[in-house]
Structure 1
Amino acid sequence: MENTFSAVKSACSSSPESFSEWQHLNELLVQLKDCMLGESERAKLTAENLSTLVDLIHLCNHGIENQIEVHSTNNCLTEVYRTLRNMCVQCEQNQDLLSDHEHLFTASKNSIQALLKQFKHSKDSDIIVTLRCIVQFLGNCSVGHVTNQCLIWKIFVEELNKLFDISDEKLSLYTCMVAHTCISGNLDNQDMWTSSNTIQMLTNVISLTVECDCEWGLFLIESMCKVDSIFSKVFPLLKDTEKLLVYEVMLDHLDKTENDLNPSKSNLQFIAEDVKSQSYIILSLLEKHQNQNPVVIVKEIEILGIATSHHNVYPEVNTDKDLLSCIIYLLEGIHKIGLQGDNLFSRVDKIIKLGNIDQDHAGYCLKRDLVKLIGNMAYECKPNQDLIREMNGIPLVLDQTSIDGRNPCILLKV
Structure 2
Amino acid sequence: MDNSVAMGDTTFLERPISEDTLQLLFQASNSSNLENSLEILIQNAKSDSGRLELASKRILPAVLNIVQSLALASYHHHHHHNNQTLSLCFKLLRNLCAGEAANQASFIELNGLAIVWNVLRSDAGSSGPDHGLVRWGLQVLANVSLGGKQHQRAIWEELYPIGFASLARVGTKETCDPLCMVIYTCCDGNPECFRQLSSDDGWPVMAEIVRTASSASFGEDWLKLLLSRIFLEESQLPVLFPKLQFVDVPEGEVIDSKYDQFSFEQAFLLQILSEILKERLGDVTVSKDVALFVFEIFKKSIGILEHAMRGNSGLPSGFTGVDVLGYSLTILRDICAQDGIRGNTEDANDVVDVLLSYGLIELLLSLLGALEPPAVIRKGLIQIKNQDSASCYSKPCPYKGFRRDMVALIGNCVYRRKHAQDEIRDRNGILLLLQQCVTDEDNPFLREWGIWSVRNMLEGNDENQKVVAELEIQGSADVPEINALGLRVEVDQRTRRAKLVNIPSCEKSL
TM-score between both structures, scaled by the size of structure 1: 0.71
Instruction: State the secondary structure of the residue aligned to 1:349.
Output: helix
Q: Secondary structure at the match of 2:398?
A: coil
Q: Identify the residue that residue 305 of structure 1 maps to in structure 2.
A: 333
Tell me which of 370, 375, 396 is aligned to 1:348: 375
1:202 aligns with 2:211: no
Tell whether 2:105 aligns with 1:138.
Answer: no
1:214-225 alignment to 2 at 5 Å? Answer: 214-216=218-220, 218-225=221-228
- Say whether 1:368 aligns with 2:404: yes
Deviations 1:312-331 (Å, cap 9, x if unpaired)? 55854210255662442342
- The secondary structure found in structure 2 opposite 1:392 is coil
Query: Aligned residue for 1:92?
Result: 101
CA offsets 1:140-161 (integer angstroms, 9 cap, x no match): 2123634323432332243243
Q: 2:337·2:412 contact (CA, 8 Å) conserved in 1?
A: yes
311, 320, 337: which is aligned to 2:354? 320
Any conservation in 2 of the 1:19–1:72 contact (CA below 8 Å)?
no
Could you tell me how far apart the structure 2 residues matched to 1:233 and 1:150 are? 26
Change (3 A) 1:19 1:223: same
Instruction: Tell me the percent identity.
Output: 20
Distance 1:25 1:59 in 2: 6
Q: 1:280 to 1:147 in 2, by over 3 A?
A: same
Residue 116 of structure 1: how far off its partner (Å): 4.1
The residue aligned with 1:39 is 51
Query: Aligned pair in 2 of structure 1 residues 39, 82: CA closer, same or farther (>3 Å)?
Result: same
CA distance in 2, matches of 1:258, 1:114: 42
Structure 1: which 5+ residue stretches go unaligned? 1-16, 339-344, 354-359
Post-superposition Cα deviations, 1:224-261, rounded to whole Å, max 9, x if no partner, equal 224312322443316655444444444444344784x3
**Which of 154, 158, 163 in structure 2 is aligned with 1:155?**
158
Matched, 1:264 2:315: no
Per-residue displacement from partner, 1:109-138 (whole Å, max 9, x unpaired)?
A: 333233345x33xx4x7x554434322211
User: Match of 2:375, SS?
Assistant: coil
Residues in 2 aligned to 1:386 and 1:352: alpha-carbon distance in whole angstroms: 32
Structure 2: unaligned runs, 5 residues or longer: 1-8, 26-33, 246-261, 311-318, 381-395, 455-510
Aligned position for 2:415 = 379
The answer to whether the Cα contact below 8 Å between 1:282 and 1:298 also exists between their aligned partners in 2 is no
Query: CA shift at 1:190, angstroms?
Result: 3.2
CA contact 2:414–2:420 (8 Å) conserved in 1 = yes
SS at match of 2:337: coil
The answer on 1:190 being equivalent to 2:194 is yes
Cα contact 2:336–2:352 (8 A) shared by 1:
yes
Cα offsets for 1:335-374 (capped at 9, x unmatched): 1x34xxxxxx332116979xxxxxx963433333323323
Paired amino acid for 1:254? L
In structure 2, how many angstroms separate the alpha carbons of the residues matched to 1:93 and 1:85?
Answer: 13
**Contact 1:279/1:330, CA 8 A, preserved across alignment:** no
- Structure 1 residue matching 2:408: 3-state secondary structure: helix
Equivalent in the alignment of 1:329 = 363
Establish whether residue 411 from structure 1 lines up as the match of residue 451 from structure 2.
Answer: yes
**Which stretch shifts more, 178-187 or 302-311?**
178-187
User: Deviation of residue 284 (structure 1)?
Assistant: 1.5
Task: Give the drift of 1:25.
Answer: 2.7
- Offset at residue 395 of structure 1 (A): 4.5
**What CA RMSD, in Å, does the superposition of the two structures yield over aligned residues?**
4.0
- Of the candidates 92, 107, 116, which is equivalent to residue 115 of structure 2? 107
Code of the residue aligned with 2:151 in structure 1: it is N
Q: Which has the larger radius of gyration?
A: 2
Is the 1:324–1:384 contact (alpha carbons within 8 Å) kept by the matching residues of 2?
no
Is the alpha carbon distance of 1:183 and 1:129 closer, same or farther for their aligned partners in structure 2, counting shifts above 3 Å? same
- Higher relative contact order, structure no. (Cα contacts within 8 Å, ≥ 6 residues apart): 1
Match of 1:274 among 294, 297, 300: 297
Residues 194-230 of structure 1 deviation map (CA, whole Å, 9 limit, x = unaligned):
24465433333333334444222x4322442243123
Q: Distance in 1 between matches of 2:40 and 2:196?
A: 36
Inter-partner Cα distance in structure 1 for 2:360 and 2:131: 52
Shift of 1:33: 6.9
Distance 1:116 1:255, change over 3 A: closer
Residue identity matched to 2:198: T
| Structure 1 CA distance for aligned equivalents of residues 78 and 337 of structure 2 | 64
* 2:284 match: secondary structure: coil
| SS at 2:338 equivalent | coil
* Secondary structure class of the residue paired with 1:320: helix
Q: Which residue of 1 aligns with 2:179?
A: 175
User: Is residue 361–residue 410 contact of structure 2 (8 Å, CA) maintained in 1?
Assistant: yes
State the match for 1:231 in structure 2. Answer: 237
Q: Counterparts of 1:386 and 1:395 in 2: how far apart (Å)?
A: 14
Hey, what does 1:81 align to over in structure 2? 90
- Per the alignment, residue 3 of structure 2 pairs with none
Paired residues for 1:7-46 under 5 Å: 18-20=10-12, 22-23=14-15, 25=17, 28=22, 30=34, 31=37, 34-35=40-41, 37=45, 38-44=50-56
Q: Is the 8 A contact 2:181 2:222 kept in 1?
A: no
**Which stretch of the first structure deviates more once superposed, 23-32 or 225-234?**
23-32
Please give the alpha-carbon distance, in whole angstroms, between the structure 2 residues aligned to 1:257 and 1:80: 38
CA drift of 1:91 comes to 0.6
Quick check: 192-201 or 364-373, which moved more? 192-201
